[in-house]
């Protein structure tokens, strides 16, 4: 078995197989990594792939070190295993992860995986045997393979529908995407973010990376205007094999009218209309979160996601 870091893989056949088998884009993953390196002061992309010479066995492990924690996003690191991969490839991957976790400056590791027909996968059982603890969180995603637009509209939280209707009547939306690039409009969103936050929260370079992602077809910015003024915006970007609700900014004085409801509904609906984007991910619902602001945001998002998908999180703490 061979092991290579994702940032160092240059075998086009291996990249092509991974992209086809796992529905991911390696170039978008590398851009995400570049973004997080700008966003976090202490960051390292430790993602790697274990594979056999003939690529019949492939284990892709997507994992970042952020400060003293090993994860990928709020759900944890992610594992992709080619069907019928040899168990040795999984053992090699987990042994490598264990060696990283043993480093003196790392205190947490979180790894997540979807249940398979309600059952643990082979690699889940290996994590269980290695003494990982576990808990469940819930994927808030809407799949274009499960819903048409009429069905989706009927499934969202009832109280949202009048708010969406208000937004439809009062908000006009424009889009920045691969086919309609507009750096000036994108920069207006960045300025709007600073205005609503009342501070600069991250570097100009991190915004430029996100615009680069849009220009390469890995995302779309939706901008909502009322009476000619920018009052709401959502940036949706490629994440793994989904489109992810990455940034949302809304004029606080108008929030009660539903402008955030309408623009998010529009963004999800546009994704459902595009079968090239199999799912729109709103985030992860974690019932253990105690922060009231985070819980409130998750409850808001949950109203747009009729079915929650369980995700098991394996973790160790020193």
- Tokens 């984007």 correspond to 277
Model pTM? 0.89
Specify the pLDDT at position 151: 81
Average pLDDT of the residues in 37-54: 94
Specify the pLDDT at position 143: 84
Q: Which residue has the higher pLDDT, 13 or 151?
A: 13
Encode pLDDT of 28-45 as tens digits.
999 999 999 999 889 999
Measured CA to CA, the distance from residue 237 to residue 210 in angstroms comes to 8
Computed over every residue of the chain, the mean pLDDT equals 91
The answer to whether 226 and 254 have CB atoms below 8 angstroms apart is yes
Encode pLDDT of 198-207 as tens digits.
888 889 999 9
Specify the pLDDT at position 82: 94
Specify the pLDDT at position 155: 87
Encode pLDDT of 139-159 as tens digits.
999 887 766 777 888 889 999
Whether the predicted pLDDT of 115 surpasses 90: no
Whether the predicted pLDDT of 277 surpasses 70: no
Measured CA to CA, the distance from residue 112 to residue 313 in angstroms comes to 4
With cut-offs at 50, 70 and 90, classify the pLDDT of residue 259. Answer: confident
List, in sequence order, every residue forming a beta bridge with 49; answer none if it has no partner. Answer: 4, 60
Backbone phi and psi for residue 107, each to the nearest 5 degrees, phi listed first: -120, -15
Q: In Å, how far from its chain's centre is CA 130?
A: 27
Specify the pLDDT at position 77: 97
Specify the pLDDT at position 18: 95
């Amino acid at each position: 078995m061979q092991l290579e870091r994702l940032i160092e893989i240059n075998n086009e056949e291996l990249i092509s197989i991974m992209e086809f088998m796992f529905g991911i884009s390696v170039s978008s993953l590398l851009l995400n990594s570049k973004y997080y390196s700008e966003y976090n002061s202490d960051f390292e992309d430790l993602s790697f792939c274990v594979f056999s010479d003939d690529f019949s066995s492939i284990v892709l492990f997507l994992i970042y070190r952020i400060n003293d924690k090993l994860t990928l996003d709020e759900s944890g690191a992610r594992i992709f295993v080619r069907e019928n991969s040899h168990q040795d490839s999984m053992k090699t991957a987990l042994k490598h992860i264990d060696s990283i976790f043993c480093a003196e400056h790392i205190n947490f590791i979180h790894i997540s995986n979807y249940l398979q027909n309600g059952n643990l996968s082979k690699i889940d059982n290996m994590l269980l045997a290695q003494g990982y603890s576990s808990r469940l969180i819930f994927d808030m995603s809407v799949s274009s393979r499960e819903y048409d637009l009429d069905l989706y509209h009927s499934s969202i939280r009832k109280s949202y529908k009048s708010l969406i209707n208000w937004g439809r009547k009062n908000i006009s939306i424009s889009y920045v995407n691969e086919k309609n690039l507009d750096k000036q409009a994108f920069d207006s969103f960045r300025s709007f973010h600073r205005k609503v936050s009342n501070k600069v929260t991250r570097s100009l370079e991190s915004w430029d990376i996100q615009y680069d992602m849009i220009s390469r077809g890995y995302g779309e910015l939706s901008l909502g205007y009322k009476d000619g003024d920018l009052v709401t915006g959502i940036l949706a970007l490629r994440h793994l094999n989904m489109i992810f609700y990455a940034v949302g900014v809304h004029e606080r004085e108008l929030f009660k009218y539903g402008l955030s409801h309408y623009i998010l509904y529009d963004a999800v609906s546009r994704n459902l209309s595009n079968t090239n984007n199999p799912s729109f991910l709103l985030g992860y619902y974690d019932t253990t979160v105690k922060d009231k602001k985070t819980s409130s945001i998750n409850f808001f998002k949950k109203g747009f996601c009729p079915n929650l998908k369980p995700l098991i999180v394996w973790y160790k703490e020193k």
